[in-house]
Amino acid sequence: MRRGNFQGLPDLLLTTPESLEAIMISTRVDHAALFADVRAVVVDELHAFAGDDRGWHLRFLLGRLERLVGRQIQRIGMSATIGNPEELLAWMSQGRGGRVVGPVHPPSDGDVTSFVGSVSNAVSVLSRMFHGERRLVFADSRSRVEEIAEGLRVAGLRTFVSHASLSAEERRSAEAAFAAEPDCIIVATSTLELGIDVGDLDRVIQVGAPPTIASFLQRMGRAGRRVGSRRNCLFLATNDEELLTALAVIALWREGVVESVVPPPRPAHIFAQQIMALVLQEGGVSRSDIDTWLGAAANEVDRVDRWAILSHMLQTEVLVENEGVIGLGPRGEREFGRRHFSDLVAAFSSPMILTVHYGGWEQFSQQAFRCRAARIRCCCSVGKAGG
């Protein structure tokens, strides 16, 4: 990155698409100067982006970044769990070419075993095995994570948890403590599947079955990083269905199979979000410049649809046009302007996690209002009381 007027900047910027968007729409940053010397962008765990809207958001951002610096930037995507690397290469490079480096198929070595029982039996097994080791236990629901962790604590084991219901600070504290202690267990949902280094890990255990082969590979890949150690995963299936799923995952993995990652089609909503972000970034933009800024990613939305989206945003005053320059309209300011447009930087929404059933008809209106205020899914009963 350019030193110039940005003294003290590091040579590497470790960030997320959302944070990059926040930088680019900030009025306090000289974007062109800040990013002037960027030569390459490395996308770690590419499969985690490409399969949903965050991938389209990232592609739009890379197009805007290249327009800012006035040249193409080298794009490097990294993943060990992609079943269709050539297709993802074309998607990431936006048709400008490139090559796949490294093995096309995921590694099929490692120690994998399985066991059938129940959650309580799984806790019993975990409490008696692998003492003196640092163990990472995956479970695919928060309630199961808490159930397992409570059982292990009762058994006297030093146990930590990690799942999305915990605050970021609580998760970081658990991960730091886990990495510092040689004989302990951390029980987690998929929050520890990607990216986070949890230290010198000895053992990976899966209670139940992972949802995909790719997820299994990510989880098993947490272990075996120390010289002389091997990747490993112990399956503790708690019922017949989980056992069959685990066996299928293992069999397909041995055959070198991993799921393909397919980007969602026609990112029209991301296109709309990007117009607003571009307007904030540039302080206004002409119609003719929109496609130039948003580039190849915008072409994934039909041209007729793109102009229909823009016309709708102008008609509803999300945007306004004055002498050929498009700016943010009163409705856009009103609905997205709070907290310095922080709602605009995220191109995806977290799924609802709580369903509410409460009371009868006389309580419905008040409870529904509370549900909306808390931004949770409302299934308040409209039948007889106690429904």
DSSP string, 262-302: -PPS--HHHHHHHHHHHHHHHT-EEHHHHHHHHHHHHTTS-
Residue 224 dihedral angles phi and psi, to the nearest 5°: 80, 20
pLDDT at 79: 84
pLDDT at 351: 53
Strands 184-188, 134-138: pairing is parallel
pLDDT at 195: 57
Strands 319-322, 325-328: pairing is antiparallel
Whose CA is closest to 207, among 110, 133, 134, 120?
120
**For the chain, which domains are there?**
17-101+264-344 (no CATH), 111-254 (3.40.50.300), 352-387 (no CATH)
Is pTM beyond 0.75? Reply is no
**Rg of the chain over all Cα atoms, to the nearest angstrom:** 24
How far apart are alpha carbons 159 and 184 in whole angstroms? 6
How far apart are alpha carbons 187 and 180 in whole angstroms? 16
Beta bridge partner(s), residue 42: 76
pLDDT at 34: 87
Handedness of CA 277, 282, 284, 289 (dihedral sign): negative
Tell me the pLDDT of the chain (387 aa) as tens digits. Answer: 444 455 666 788 899 899 999 998 888 888 888 898 899 999 988 888 888 888 999 999 999 999 999 999 999 998 878 888 888 898 988 878 889 887 766 666 666 666 667 888 889 888 888 888 888 999 988 899 999 999 999 999 989 888 877 777 777 777 787 778 888 898 988 878 765 556 678 889 999 988 899 889 888 888 877 777 788 888 999 888 898 899 899 889 888 888 898 888 889 999 999 999 999 999 999 988 998 898 788 888 998 999 999 999 999 999 999 988 999 999 999 988 877 777 777 665 555 555 565 565 555 455 544 444 444 444 443 333 333
Contact 295, 67 (CB under 8 A): yes
Beta bridge partner(s), residue 237: 116
